[in-house]
Chains A and B, each alone.
Chain A
Amino acid sequence: KQEVTQIPAALSVPEGENLVLNCSFTDSAIYNLQWFRQDPGKGLTSLLLIQSSQREQTSGRLNASLDKSSGRSTLYIAASQPGDSATYLCADSNTGNQFYFGTGTSLTVIP
């Protein structure tokens, strides 16, 4: 079974700081990996999807990278804002169907 780990579990940063969230997975034979954001008590908002053939994806202030050989993905958030405060989850899939999720990184951006 694919194991997905996210470190750190929680992170607090001052507004304006650039930050990196980490995601590691045990099986390098992944099909794709997706990053999500979850606000308290809410569903998941899709951020970025990286296919196994890709190295990175960018959307606005967000950049996600994928290194299959080392079993790692990172989510880079530039110029963080208080509105970025949420839990960030990564999930990968071997088939493109069933996703294996990490337990998330809870981010707090302090004004």
Chain B
Amino acid sequence: DTGVSQDPRHKITKRGQNVTFRCDPISEHNRLYWYRQTLGQGPEFLTYFQNEAQLEKSRLLSDRFSAERPKGSFSTLEIQRTEQGDSAMYLCASSFGGLKFFGPGTRLTVL
């Protein structure tokens, strides 16, 4: 399968714990995006990388959130001191040019 992959697919954690998600983009794609989606809503932009450089960050990305893309390949999104309001589907997408391809998402539940 040469699509965008995300790991894990589901994560249940207790409030206050740290969690880390991984995204592997389509191999030739230089742009990588993170979005968050809550129930009944469209995805909301969090951040975007071009190669290894993080070029844009949403105000939704509080200082508890950090994203990295070392070597311009896979990316990680870490949430520190999770809160119940962080419960959502975290979606990763990649592109080379305009067409964006999304991964299956990581569903986070914070208890």
- Does B bind A? yes
A: residues with CB less than 8 A from B are: 4, 31-32, 34, 36, 41-46, 49, 51, 89, 91, 96-104
Query: Which residues of A have CB within 8 Å of B31?
Result: 97
SS class, residues of chain B in contact with chain A: strand
SS class, residues of chain A in contact with chain B: strand
B: residues with CB less than 8 A from A are: 4, 6, 31, 33, 35, 40-45, 48, 55-56, 58, 91, 93, 98-105, 107
Question: Which residue of chain B is the closest to A99 with respect to CB atoms?
Answer: B45
- 5 pairs of residues in contact across A and B, judged by CB atoms under 8 Å: A43-B6, A45-B102, A99-B35, A99-B43, A101-B44
Docked complex Cα distance between A4 and B91 (Å):
19
Partner of B99, one of A31, A43, A49, A101: A49
- Taking a contact as CB atoms under 8 Å apart, the answer to whether B104 and A97 are in contact is no
Question: Which residue of chain B is the closest to A101 with respect to CB atoms?
Answer: B42
Question: Which residue of chain A is the closest to B104 with respect to CB atoms?
Answer: A43
- Taking a contact as CB atoms under 8 Å apart, the answer to whether B99 and A46 are in contact is yes
With known contacts A34-B100, A42-B105, A98–B42 Cβ distance under 8 A: no
- Taking a contact as CB atoms under 8 Å apart, the answer to whether B98 and A98 are in contact is no
- Taking a contact as CB atoms under 8 Å apart, the answer to whether A44 and B91 are in contact is yes
- Taking a contact as CB atoms under 8 Å apart, the answer to whether B100 and A43 are in contact is no
- Taking a contact as CB atoms under 8 Å apart, the answer to whether A99 and B91 are in contact is no
- Taking a contact as CB atoms under 8 Å apart, the answer to whether A103 and B41 are in contact is yes
- Taking a contact as CB atoms under 8 Å apart, the answer to whether A34 and B99 are in contact is yes
Given contacts A43-B4, A46-B100, A97-B48, 11 further A-B contacts (CB under 8 A): A32-B98, A34-B98, A42-B105, A43-B105, A49-B98, A89-B42, A98-B56, A99-B43, A99-B45, A103-B40, A103-B42
